[in-house]
Amino acid sequence: MLSDGLPLYGGQTGGLGLLQIPPMDLGGVEVIKGVASALYVGTALGGVVNLLSRRPAGGPIRDLLLNQTSLAGTGGVLFVGDAPGGVGEPGWSYTLLAGTHAQAQKDRDADGWTDVPGYARGVVRPRLFWSSAQGSTAMLTAGTTFESRNGGTMPDGLAPNGSPYPERLRTRRFDAGGRIAGWSAGAGW
């Protein structure tokens, strides 16, 4: 899994779900099948999914999405971007994605076990773009995701052995990358 051709999500995607990536800054998706994908990442012999970022086009972007689920999950995502020198003109442009999402643990059948895990997630991803009149381009990005998930028994629930059985997962992702007219470097951890 790549972002703008960069391995920002790390070499292993087992701990990453696509639903953890807010799609508001998604401009397109490339799917590269077969061994040709090894040109992008040496460990991707079966294929590559490249998520292409959304760029400022047609003026400043100011998008805000707020949502609420039927189980009281909440979320908010802000996406802003602009090309101060003019869209399609040489110079600098930028985008910023920031989001927060939360869901409380739910026990739908009242058996003391979590049916819907609780979580809290925050995401921030700024991107900076540059292009010259001669066609040279550059892109810099950095990002972070913090997520905490809770499952197992409910806070007041007990396992069959009479003890609580909490399950907790804390995820912290940091990444940075850049691309200059065909040369690229990126890392996620």
Name beta bridge partners: 93: 129
Name beta bridge partners: 125: 97
How confident is the model at residue 49, as a pLDDT?
83
Q: In angstroms, rounded to a whole number, what is the distance separating the alpha carbons of residues 95 and 43?
A: 30
**Closest Cα to residue 174, out of 183, 187, 163, 161?**
187
Instruction: Name the pairing type of β-strands 26-33 and 137-152.
Output: unpaired
Q: Cα–Cα–Cα angle for 11, 6, 181, nearest 5°?
A: 155
Q: List, run by run, the mean pLDDT of 10-residue segments along the chain (189 residues).
A: 78 63 87 72 72 84 94 94 81 94 94 94 94 86 93 92 94 89 55
How confident is the model at residue 100, as a pLDDT?
95
Q: In angstroms, rounded to a whole number, what is the distance separating the alpha carbons of residues 35 and 27?
A: 25
- Could you tell me the end-to-end alpha-carbon distance of the chain, in angstroms, rounded to an integer? 14
Domain boundaries, the chain: 56-188
How confident is the model at residue 11, as a pLDDT?
59
Name beta bridge partners: 68: 74
pTM over 0.85: no
Contact (Cβ atoms closer than 8 angstroms) between residue 101 and residue 83: no
How confident is the model at residue 131, as a pLDDT?
86
Q: In angstroms, rounded to a whole number, what is the distance separating the alpha carbons of residues 87 and 58?
A: 6
How confident is the model at residue 89, as a pLDDT?
78
How confident is the model at residue 116, as a pLDDT?
94
**Quick one: how far is CA 59 from the chain centroid?**
24
How confident is the model at residue 45, as a pLDDT?
67
**Residue 24: which region, alpha, beta or left (left: phi > 0; alpha: psi -120 to 50)?**
alpha
